[in-house]
Amino acid sequence: MNRTSALAALRAAGVVAVLRAPSADRAVRAVDALVAGGITGIEITYSTPDAADAIREIDRRYGAGVQLGAGTVRTASQAKEAVAAGARFLVSPGTDPSLAEAMLDTGAAAFFGALTPSEVITAVRLGAHAVKVFPASLGGPGYLASLRGPFPDVPFMPTGGVRADNIGHWLRSGAVAVGAGSELCSASAMAAGRWDEIEYAARQFADAFTQAITEGRR
């Protein structure tokens, strides 16, 4: 996937739900609730047992109706497995040269994790389609805005510390999209099968994102 297509897909998703589910089945059920609530950016992390099975089933159910990816990708075999299962983007928590090459070789959009300016430079040099600022909760939107100073042309997706009530702030600070984890879809809600709770949170996030766009914060 080229950079233009990757960014278009990321912008289309806007909010990417980062799922650390207790099982593949719970991940799929959570995605049903998220989509019902208006969230179509889905990242199934490899901390989810049988993550590839979840990705495969979500792709079967929704196809192009969701922007589907795999997160916490730490090995070349995970990258290949995820794309074979239907992932269209890959996210690593950090930036490693050999892993970056393997991710790019799959043809999927590749987002590398970085926090410091040096790490951002490395991620860009290795060909990241976008840079995942992680854990973004450490610095908040103000830190992202500071990164935008020396890196105005780098597409950033902050993950960590993203809530429905601060999405506009993240977008104003320069985020192309945001990754939302437990605030949107918590492991406890998935484990307990509280699908209505997840759908409600999804609606809050989707509405907040739409409002931010309407107000010209992106």
| Residues of the chain with confidence (pLDDT) below 50 | 218
**What is the model's pLDDT at position 43?**
98
Which residues have a catalytic role annotated? 43, 132
- The 3-class SS string of the chain reads CCHHHHHHHHHHHCEEEEECCCCHHHHHHHHHHHHHCCCCEEEEECCCCCHHHHHHHHHHHHHHHCEEEEECCCCHHHHHHHHHHCCCEEECCCCCHHHHHHHHHCCCEEEEEECCHHHHHHHHHCCCCEEEECCHHHCHHHHHHHHHCCCCCCCEEEECCCCHHHHHHHHHCCECCEEECCCCCCHHHHHHCCHHHHHHHHHHHHHHHHHHHHCCCC
- The whole model's pTM is what? 0.95
Which pLDDT value is given to residue 159? 97
Give the domain range for residue 206: 3-214
pLDDT tens for 174-193 read: 999 999 999 999 999 999 99
Residue 177: its pLDDT value, please? 96
Q: Give residue 160's pLDDT.
A: 94
As for how many domains the chain has, the answer is 1
At residue 215, the pLDDT reads 81
- At residue 103, the pLDDT reads 97
User: What contacts 2, CB < 8 A, 6 or more positions away?
Assistant: none
CATH of the domain at 12: 3.20.20.70
